[in-house]
Amino acid sequence: MPAATSRSRIAAEVDFDRNGRQHGFLRLFHSVHRSAYGFIPIPIVVLKNGDGPTALLVSGTHGDEYEGQVALCNLVRSLDPARISGRVIILPAANFPAALAGTRTSPIDEGNLNRLFPGDPDGSVTEQIAYHIEHELVPMADLICDLHSGGSSLMYVPSALFGGWQRDGGTAAGVAVLKAFGSPVAYVAESNQGGARTLSGGAARQGRICLGTEAGGSGHVTQSALRMVERGVNNVLVHMGILPAGSRIAPDGPTRFLEVGGPDYFVYAPENGLFEPLVELGDMVRAGQPAARIHLPETPWAEPVTTHFARDGFVLCKRVPGRTVRGDCLFHLGTDIGL
């Protein structure tokens, strides 16, 4: 049931308290020229079997990140509610207009869902989605999986992450979920790029654990990244006791844990031009090492501008498009950490 204090204008077609499998839509009423009283149909699936913990699985927060969307489409059809104890709520296309368009932000209001939490029940379409997720769905969940990737402009070494990490051990339960996920690479960060404006920030406000992924990117899907997400989500459901222990899928090997820290982990384009990367994903680099050259095709006789890494680290993320403007993120690093 919706919280009594919620002012969300979005209406769910599913009954979150009913056992079995249900699918339907979150109705986001949107009055436009071609449809005065219509709604935007955001697909949602609820699987429930008796009492037990609740997992909320979200993808399509950014519409051009496809690995999580494909993984959750597969899960929606394959997960038998008779196999679970508790409840799984699946929202495969959270920013539905963006997911339909295959874009990071919504074509309706330019909203970046993961920069609009805690949302606004009376706000734009994307603000209404954020509000509904934080104030209606998150409170029902014990744990949230927020499945992202690098999207159109970035490529990651496929990884899981736990944001809002506390170095003093205060977030051990979140780190335990990260370990349960079992990806080859995983990282922690004390603050995410979007901070409190993300779903992860919203989960923290509601006292819930939120595990994320950066499952690849480049606006496409690979089988290896997809398998990482599917195995990880499965293993998180086992970790929560929603799936039986015998359902755990063993990782291919140990997880390499990294930390992503402050501004010196990031490299940005110093100039407008063409991006020539000088390292590749997975490389180990040193402080002062050249990271990229930005070429100036309008004046090709001019020397390219070289930018450098500010610290040692592992190349975790790399920009995809060649055409680049000053301020674009070209790389970010992670540094090995024991967890």
Tell me the closest approach of the beta carbon of residue 56 to Zn ion, in angstroms: 16
Tell me the closest approach of the beta carbon of residue 65 to Zn ion, in angstroms: 5
The count of residues in the chain is: 339
Single residue of 48, 87, 135, 148 touching Zn ion by CB under 5 A? 148
| Nearer to Zn ion among residue 186 and residue 242 (C-beta) | 186
CA–CA separation, 71 and 75 (whole Å): 6
| Nearer to Zn ion among residue 64 and residue 127 (C-beta) | 64
Tell me the closest approach of the beta carbon of residue 234 to Zn ion, in angstroms: 21
**Residue whose C-beta lies closest to Zn ion:** 148
* Helices vs. strands in the chain: H and E counts, helices first: 6, 19
Cα 316–chain centre separation: 15
CA–CA separation, 144 and 313 (whole Å): 29
How many amino acids of this chain bind Zn ion (CB under 5 A)?
A: 3
| Nearer to Zn ion among residue 149 and residue 234 (C-beta) | 149
Interface of this chain with Zn ion, residues 248 to 287, rule: CB under 5 A: none
Encoded amino acid at 60, one letter: G
| Nearer to Zn ion among residue 148 and residue 319 (C-beta) | 148
Q: Which of 287, 266, 274 is nearest to 330 (CA)?
A: 266
DSSP-assigned letter for residue 122:
T
| Nearer to Zn ion among residue 194 and residue 270 (C-beta) | 194
If one asks whether residue 197 binds Zn ion (CB under 5 A), the answer comes out as no
Site string for Zn ion, 19-58 (x = CB under 5 A): ----------------------------------------
Position of tokens 């384009």? 269
Interface of this chain with Zn ion, residues 57 to 96, rule: CB under 5 A: 62, 65
Written as one string, the DSSP assignment of 80-113 is -GGG-SEEEEEETTSSHHHHHHT-SS-TTT---G
Which residues of the shown chain bind Zn ion in the complex (CB under 5 A)? 62, 65, 148
